[in-house]
Amino acid sequence: MKEPLAVLAASLIRDAGPPWEQATHSPFLDALATGTLPAKVFQLWLSQDYLFAKGLMAFQAITLAKVPRDCHKALISGLAALDSEMDWFEGHARRLHLDLEIPPHRTCQKYVDFLMRCAYTQPYPVLLAVLFGAEVSYLAAWSALEARGPYAEFIERWSNPAFGKYVEALRALAEGYPHPEAQSYFNNVLVQERDFWQMSWEG
């Protein structure tokens, strides 16, 4: 049995209500956990997650330009990790013969559009809440799974201690720079996450 994640005590999660559960549990994840997820479904998700990661990188770069100096180390480390993640995605795409130049699914595009709209229009405390929401929901979803079966490598990658440490740093920043709109935007992220899992499952 895995230890509970300390980061899940964050006030933004505590006050999120049902959207938190919806963002971190899905039939897609259930099938992935049991090893019964069809390869074609997983490959659809992998391709779309790569396109999302490209959008997330742009969002993080703009956020980095807005935040105070004490936020730089965490965000720069996050960007470096995301750059490595892109290399990792591309390596797997070659191995699996995936086309990463496909158009984004409308759900993926909607999520990226939301991030970019936030990046250009919202103050940095809201952007920190948005980034924390995207990363902590992802960490929680993958950390709930046991790293076994055909997808063990992916479960391990997105539930590893280094990722957890990064998300904890984001939590500290989000809570250190509160904003009246932070919860609303955090919850919007959770809705986008929920829809992304549904997209991957339903096609």
**SS3 label, residue 123:** coil
| Per-residue 3-state assignment (H helix, E strand, C coil) for 59-113 | HHHHHHHHCCHHHHHHHHHHHHHHHHHHHHHHHHHHHHCCCCCCCCCHHHHHHHH
Residue-range domains of the chain with CATH: 38-202 (1.20.910.10)
pLDDT one-digit tens code per residue, 91-140 = 988 888 888 889 999 999 999 999 999 999 999 999 999 999 999 999 99
CB atoms within 10 A of CB 2: 10
Tokens representing 20 are: 């938190």
| pLDDT band at residue 172 under the 50/70/90 scheme | very high
Q: CA–CA separation, 54 vs 155, rounded Å? A: 21
Those residues with Cβ within 8 angstroms of residue 30's Cβ, 6 or more apart along the chain or in another chain: none
Scan for tokens 């999520």, then name that residue: 111
Q: Smallest Cα–Cα separation from 22: which of 177, 107, 137?
A: 137
User: CA 192, 159, 63: angle at the middle one, nearest 5?
Assistant: 50
Q: What predicted TM-score, i.e. pTM, was given to this entire model?
A: 0.95
User: CA 79, 83, 87: angle at the middle one, nearest 5?
Assistant: 165
Predicted pLDDT of residue 2: 60
